[in-house]
Structure 1
Amino acid sequence: MANPKLLQSEDLSKYILHTVVYPREPEPLKELRCASAGHPFSFYGTDPDAGQLMAMLLKLIQAKRTIEVGVFTGYSLLLTALTIPDDGKITAIDINKEAYEIGLPIIQKAGVEHKINFIHSPALPVLDNLLQDKENEGSFDFAYVDADKDNYLNYHERLVKLVKIGGLLVYDNVLWGGFVAMPLETIPERKRKRTTATMEFNKTIAADPRVDISIAPVGDGVLICRRVM
């Protein structure tokens, strides 16, 4: 039987990163990760081990048209742009353009900016606008969400309509630093609202018959959904 304390240890995480993640990390991604390290909210970025899983998922389904809610400095965005075909397209939405512009020169240098349509806006109005055109329903191969946790359910209700049957929806931070498994009274007050929102999201998606699901305990927890209806 696996030792849960060992599997959650910092040493094991470092082993995974240095043995199988960093040696395969494309140079532009490494450069962007280093450029973001000095940002006061650098922890907002997608973890490299979660990114490696995401890249494999994109390749497995041969994704070509994707949507990303929450960009930050663009680690996951650049990863997607490097992975999808040259004529692939990413709709990327974020309210923070300044953070995106930290990674933009690296994205440009990597030669993949033409695949990206960055929209500086709250995500819900953009998703609603996309759904007003019936041709957008079921037209995306892949969706990735790493944004405000309070709106995850709202994003899901829209994205599950935009992603095609057989397509994937991936949500980051669904283990929320492990707080989701702790009694609420032991969680710091400032963490409780988002912990509760994350727990409610996980519970709701677990009961959603429109998707198959699996949580991968990489990074801060990644929920993978495959639309089935």
Structure 2
Amino acid sequence: MAQTASAATENQAGRHQEVGHKSLLQSDDLYQYILETSVYPREPEPMKELREITANHPWNIMTTSADEGQFLNMLLKLINAKNTMEIGVYTGYSLLATALALPDDGKILAMDINKENYELGLPVIEKAGVAHKIDFKEGPALPVLDQMIANGKYHGSFDFIFVDADKDNYLNYHKRLIDLVKVGGVIGYDNTLWNGSVVAPPDAPLRKYVRYYRDFVLELNKALAADPRIEICQLPVGDGITLCRRLS
């Protein structure tokens, strides 16, 4: 018996949220081809080690995918980034990708509410010789951002900012980060396709956390598209990443 259009849509949404990797490609084989052909052979040994350590963590779904780590590493080199920020660190895979891309005197302000997870990856970061580039702060990022804005000297001082944290605060972050990134600098927001749920029907069988944050992601995507201060590019890498280049 043929599926109804509604049932087919629900099944598709279910496949999106159950997929084992963080890519929205329709074919697992195609994604594996990309990893095995272009990503894993060129993955720096410290990133491979940290990826394997993180795979054993109970929250491993939170990590940045290997292809996205490769993308961030190249992007930072292309824009000659030197002063960067990362909100949401987890075990530090994307942080390590950034640190390896920056020059020796580059700096990363890294913030996360959980220092324990960061310390899981820290020995790998130290062994890679890039820990001196990182200034880690434990706790909520918004108060730190407010202090930096109030201080005045940080306006327009960051070349690149990567946000992979609490989705319900993405718009609150954007309101502040647009002040802190330089004109011509880039802000990257992770998870902007949110397990594919952004196109799922209202009654789709989504996991509780996916359903809860979906509206915040949809609100962010709409706001970024309408913000005249930036130009944007949304890419289906990992769980979706939106790059915002500040125009003014």
TM over 0.5: yes
Rg larger for: 2
Paired residue secondary structure (2:103) = coil
1:227 aligns with 2:226: no
Q: Alpha carbons of 1:22 and 1:189: their partners in 2 closer, same or farther (altered >3 Å)?
A: closer
RMSD over aligned CA atoms reads 1.4
Matches within 5 A, 1:61-80: 61-80=79-98
Q: Equivalent of 1:160, from 178, 200, 214?
A: 178
- CA distance in structure 2 between the partners assigned to 1:86 and 1:48 by the alignment: 23
| The one of 8, 33, 36 aligned to 2:54 | 36
Check if 1:195 corresponds to 2:214: yes
Tell whether the 8 Å contact from 1:131 to 1:162 is kept in structure 2 after alignment.
yes
Report the counterpart of residue 197 of structure 2 in structure 1: 179
Answering whether residue 151 of structure 2 is matched by residue 149 of structure 1, we say no
Distance 1:221 1:104 in 2: 26
d(CA) in 1 for partners of 2:97, 2:207: 35
Structure-to-structure mapping, 1:1-229, within 5 angstroms: 7-188=25-206, 190=208, 191-229=210-248
Aligned with 1:184: secondary structure?
A: coil
Decide whether the 8 Å contact of 1:179 with 1:187 is kept in 2: no
Q: Return the TM-score normalized by structure 1.
A: 0.95
- Whether contact under 8 Å (1:36, 1:73) holds in the other structure is yes
1:3 alignment partner in structure 2: none
Structure 2 Cα separation of the partners of residues 51 and 16 of structure 1? 13
Contact 1:184 1:192 in 2 (8 A): no
1:38, distance to aligned residue in structure 2 (A): 0.7
Would the aligned equivalents of 1:73 and 1:102 in 2 still touch at CA under 8 Å? Answer: yes
Hey, what's the Cα distance between the residues in 1 that align with 2:73 and 2:35?
A: 15
Report 1 or 2 for greater relative contact order, CA contacts < 8 Å, sequence distance ≥ 6.
2
d(CA) in 2 for partners of 1:153, 1:132 = 19
Give deviations 1:13-38, integer Å, cap 9, x for gaps.
11111111111110000000001111
1:118-175 CA distance string (max 9 Å, x none): 0001010111111112110000000000001000101111111100000000011111
1:27-67, Cα deviation, whole Å (9 max, x unpaired): 00000000111101011111111111111110111000000
Q: Distance in 1 between matches of 2:215 and 2:89?
A: 23
- Mapped to 2, the partners of 1:69 and 1:189 lie a distance apart of 24
Matched-pair contact (CA < 8 Å) for 1:91–1:116: yes
Structure 2: runs of 5+ lacking an equivalent: 1-23
One-letter amino acid of the counterpart of residue 238, structure 2:
G
Match for 1:223: what amino acid? Answer: T
Structure 1 residue runs without a partner (length 5+) = 1-5
Q: Residue by residue, what CA displacement relative to the aligned partner does 1:153-203 show, whole Å, maximum 9, x if unpaired?
A: 011111111000000000111111100011122142612220111111101
User: What CA deviation, in whole Å up to 9, does each residue of 1:197-216 have, x standing for no partner?
Assistant: 11111011010111110111
Contact 1:55 1:83 in 2 (8 A): yes
